[in-house]
Amino acid sequence: MDGLPENVKLTPTSYIVLGLLARAGEATPYQLKTVVASSIAGFWTVQHAQLYAEPQRLARAGLVSERQEEGGRRRRTYALTDAGREALERWLAEPTEAIGEIRQPGLLQLFLGAEPGPLAQAQRAAHAERLAQYEALHETTGAHMEDGMRLALEAGMALEREWVRYWAVLEEAG
Amino acid sequence: MDGLPENVKLTPTSYIVLGLLARAGEATPYQLKTVVASSIAGFWTVQHAQLYAEPQRLARAGLVSERQEEGGRRRRTYALTDAGREALERWLAEPTEAIGEIRQPGLLQLFLGAEPGPLAQAQRAAHAERLAQYEALHETTGAHMEDGMRLALEAGMALEREWVRYWAVLEEAG
DNA sequence: GGGTACATGTAATCAGTTACATGATTTA
DNA sequence: TAAATCATGTAACTGATTACATGTACCC
């Protein structure tokens, strides 16, 4: 089961696909898309077109298997291979020290000289709304979530609270 | 001064270039690179190759002017045109409601099922270090910074503190 | 039975990354 | 003067985004 072209570079998108396939057992790109939309979106976006392209790349690398419907839509269904599961687990077992960027458009505007007042108002509102969504989700389904997902959601809530605080201060000052 | 090909899409990178040129008056890509490294980096990365490519795009669109050295290195120096300054100011005057993604590699690992304990340890350490850098910078030069930059730095500090708190809890639990 | 929303995918483009390459300065 | 290091840039690649396109099911 070795000897495959094991030389692709795996990006975060790759691991998202691998990780979601590990949970789902198997899935079509469209199913991946719905899972992404209902879980990871908001803290890590993946374009739906990527969910068609990336599994193909991974299939070429032997990390997932591809099965195509005979009739009709000729849907493709993907599942992890042993090599894929290994790659995922190797990555998961090696805690990253990398920390991402903040990359908030609002903060960029502030940095580049926008008026703090109106910007703070818009941003506080937007973050408050996002926070409310997270809180609602946490309250309704938090109990049945897998650990990783719930923890990530809680991180999102903590950060959004911080942003609301931050912009509120600027709003009152302006 | 109109009639220029005013149909490029401006990305965050574009506004970074426009904004930094507005501050600097004029600059070569290399100078832009150093400014980026000493200010915005950490909350919004720009690859140095982009600082060569992007000004050219903007020049084609008439938003910056390009002047090239005759002798030696044939360095290119860029400056805002009136159209460029206008584009920048139009953007700055329109507070964005967009909020970015979190996009933390560590959070992605957590979400996809990594062991919280060791991950939390690595991440808490990394964020603590970043926080210390920000705090040092704030203490030494915070007073002389432009407002936007100081405010952005303070946002970075607030967020890093939150991350340290978040991972510390997970670390103790694990 | 026509519209509208969901489902499913491909193609073209482009921003961004990585890699390469060489010129100028400093320093040991 | 050799070796680093800083300065300066280009080329190639590719992941990601945008746009397009069509099929299917439901509902009014």
Q: Which pTM does this prediction carry?
A: 0.92
- pLDDT tens digits, one per residue of B94-136: 999 999 999 999 999 999 999 999 999 999 999 999 999 999 9
| Confidence check: pLDDT of A127 > 60 | yes
Once rounded to an integer, what is the mean pLDDT over residues A15-26? 95
Identify each DSSP E strand in chain A by its residue range: 26-27, 64-68, 76-80
Q: Is residue B165 classed as helix, strand or coil in its secondary structure?
A: helix
Please, which pLDDT band fits residue B38 given cuts at 50, 70 and 90?
Answer: confident
Q: Is residue B76 classed as helix, strand or coil in its secondary structure?
A: strand
Q: Which residue is nearest to nucleotide D18 (CA to C1')?
A: A49
Beta bridge partners of A64: A80
The predicted pLDDT at position A74 comes to 73
The predicted pLDDT at position A130 comes to 93
Of A19, A92, A155, the CB nearest to B166: A155
Q: Is residue B26 classed as helix, strand or coil in its secondary structure?
A: strand
Is the Cβ of A128 closer than 8 Å to some Cβ of chain B? no
Closest listed residue to residue A114, CA positions, set B22, B58, B154: B22
Q: Is residue B20 classed as helix, strand or coil in its secondary structure?
A: helix
Is the Cβ of B93 closer than 8 Å to some Cβ of chain A? yes
Chain B interface disruption, residue of A92, A112, A121, A166, most B CBs within 10 A: A112
As given in the structure block, the two tokens for residue B30 are 């290399």
Q: Please tell me the total number of residues recorded for chain A in this structure.
A: 174
Once rounded to an integer, what is the mean pLDDT over residues B140-162? 94
Which nucleotide is at minimal CA–C1' distance from A77? C8
- pLDDT tens digits, one per residue of A83-118: 999 999 999 999 999 999 999 999 999 999 999 999
Q: Which residue of A has its CA nearest to B114?
A: A92
As given in the structure block, the two tokens for residue A42 are 């908001």
Interface of B with A in 23-62 (CB under 8 A): 39-40, 42-45
Query: Residue with structure tokens 């989700």?
Result: A137
Of A93, A107, A126, the CB nearest to B152: A107
The predicted pLDDT at position B68 comes to 79
The predicted pLDDT at position B2 comes to 38
Identify each DSSP E strand in B21-170 by its residue range: 26-27, 64-68, 76-80
As given in the structure block, the two tokens for residue B161 are 């503190």
* Residue B81 identity: T
- Report which of residues B72 and A37 the model is more confident about: A37
Once rounded to an integer, what is the mean pLDDT over residues A115-125? 97
Once rounded to an integer, what is the mean pLDDT over residues B159-173? 97
Once rounded to an integer, what is the mean pLDDT over residues B29-33? 93
Contact between residue A60 and residue A8 where contact means Cβ atoms under 8 Å apart: yes
- pLDDT tens digits, one per residue of A3-13: 345 567 899 99
Round to whole Å and give the CA distance between B107 and B110: 5
| CA–C1' B52–C27 (A) | 30
* Residue A19 identity: G
- pLDDT tens digits, one per residue of A138-148: 998 889 999 99
Task: Encode burial over B72-91: b for 16+ CB neighbours within 10 A, e otherwise.
Answer: eeeebbbbbbebbbebbeeb
The predicted pLDDT at position B90 comes to 95
Read off the DSSP letter of residue A93: T
Minimum mean pLDDT range among A78-82, B40-44, B66-70: B66-70
